[in-house]
Structure formats: C-alpha cells, structure tokens
C-alpha cells in the first residue's frame, strides 16, 4: 500500500471548497474539470466546469475531492471515501476482493485514462472505498 487518502465529494462546489482548504491549510492545489477530460464522452463534457479531480498536497499530506456528475445522488455527511493507493496489480485485486466481501461493487476494477487500474466499493458497513494502482509505463 502506497497511501491512504480521504476523498471528499461535493455537489458543484468542489472548486470553492478546495480553494478554501488550500487558503486555510496551504499546499499545492491541482484541479481538473470534467471539460478537460480527453475523449468524447458527452455526459462528462456536459458536466462542464464541475471538478472531476482535485488534489491538495503539502509534504506527505494529501486531500482529494471531486464534484458529483450532474443529477447523481448526493447526501451531505456521507460524501467521502477512503482512497487506497496500491503497489501492484496483485495487491489491488486482493484488497478489492477482501474489502468488497459482503459489500457492493459501485465501479468494477478497470483500466482508466489516467494510466491506472481503478475501482470503487461500498463495504458491508456502508463505507465507500476507492482503489487505484498506477500501471507501469
């Protein structure tokens, strides 16, 4: 395991929230709106300036976030996930299977455009998990 990160979700105000946290906590803020995603996905392009991924980092500390897609369910108070950075394909497969036991796969493990294998689970206790492994180049 390379890291465990808190991942926050917002309903259209991710940029405002993360800029606020950067102002309060310092660090480097990176923002990627849905409109900048490569490819021709009309649903993602329709999300426009909503944030697909934000990362605030300072030293070894990282806070990540995104906006939901327009029309997706959003419940304030339950809008976070635990994100696990994995060291190998074997590790991501093992963690995904173990944490997912008795839970629900919300996004199966699959290769993504950012060069990683990624998947999401809601575990048997209602906690949302994200697993990411950067594929070798």
Q: In angstroms, what CA-CA distances link 46 with 32, 43, 50, 54, 71?
A: 14, 5, 9, 18, 11
Q: Tokens standing for 28?
A: 């480097």
Which of 4, 14, 94 is CA-nearest to residue 47? 14
One digit per residue, pLDDT tens: the chain, 137 residues?
888 889 999 999 999 999 999 998 889 999 999 888 877 777 777 778 999 999 999 888 899 999 988 778 888 777 888 999 999 999 999 999 998 999 999 999 999 999 999 999 998 878 899 999 999 98
The three-class DSSP label of residue 21 is: helix
Which of 60, 63, 66, 132 is CA-nearest to residue 96? 132
């Amino acid at each position: 395991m390379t890291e465990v990160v808190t991942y926050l979700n917002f309903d259209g105000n991710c940029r405002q929230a993360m800029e606020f946290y950067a102002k309060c906590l310092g660090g480097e803020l990176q923002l990627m709106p849905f409109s900048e995603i490569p490819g021709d996905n009309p649903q993602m392009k329709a999300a426009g300036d909503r944030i697909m991924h934000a990362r605030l980092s300072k030293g070894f500390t990282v806070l990540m976030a995104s906006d939901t897609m327009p029309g997706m369910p959003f419940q304030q108070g339950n809008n976070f996930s635990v994100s696990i950075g994995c060291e190998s394909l074997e590790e991501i497969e093992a963690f995904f299977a173990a944490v997912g036991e008795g839970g629900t796969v919300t996004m199966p493990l699959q290769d993504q455009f950012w060069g990683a294998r990624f998947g999401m689970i809601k575990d048997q206790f209602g906690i949302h998990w994200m697993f990411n492994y950067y594929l070798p180049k």
